[in-house]
Structure 1
């Protein structure tokens, strides 16, 4: 009499939200949150110690089973990655070739402020030199100076 192999353990599919995308992950029904984190590492490039899994507003404890935390087939779990705990090139997120408009606008404003401050500094610099008696030329790229250089600057 042949005995049939034991049936495979039941599995559930969990929908993990990370980096603007949803990753379906199939795990054994008796798996723990730590097991799920190990499965997510190659998919997200985030080390398990840098992962925080949240389901139904609660952080999943590593040692507890998914079923004890009411994670069932089709549950949505959010993955939060700690900064600096990535392997390789960092987390795998949605590819974006163009920066967000708000980022682009902020960088243009910052560049304009830098250019404006550079012109203000060059106008104020001689006044500051006269007031303090200290001439700061470290960012002037000077190679050689004339002996009358200081008298010309302060006049």
Structure 2
């Protein structure tokens, strides 16, 4: 579901952030507010951590099991919708696509803005088989952003 949500959000020109499920409701609320979240996708077991964030500006969606209450959407509403109904959006390579949060080792966690261009560049560097500076073997581990 994460891949579908991420790709769907990026296709619509939105950005995606992920919260640590071990965060307290207050920590999740802080990240949701700072990132200006419009939709929170969660598992039913974490619903209680985010239920107080539901309002006109922020919708909640559960991935598994029936939604805990009528105001909560179900992930199937996204997966079963018609992709042709999505409006065309102009997306710049410099638009933010992902907003992972730092661990906050030197202070409070902060959103790290990753652009479409940066993400594509990062992936390209890892998969470009023509790069003479990359020598991969089956024992190698590649560390990359996102």
The TM-score with structure 1 as length reference comes to 0.21
Higher-strand-fraction structure: 1
Larger Rg: 1
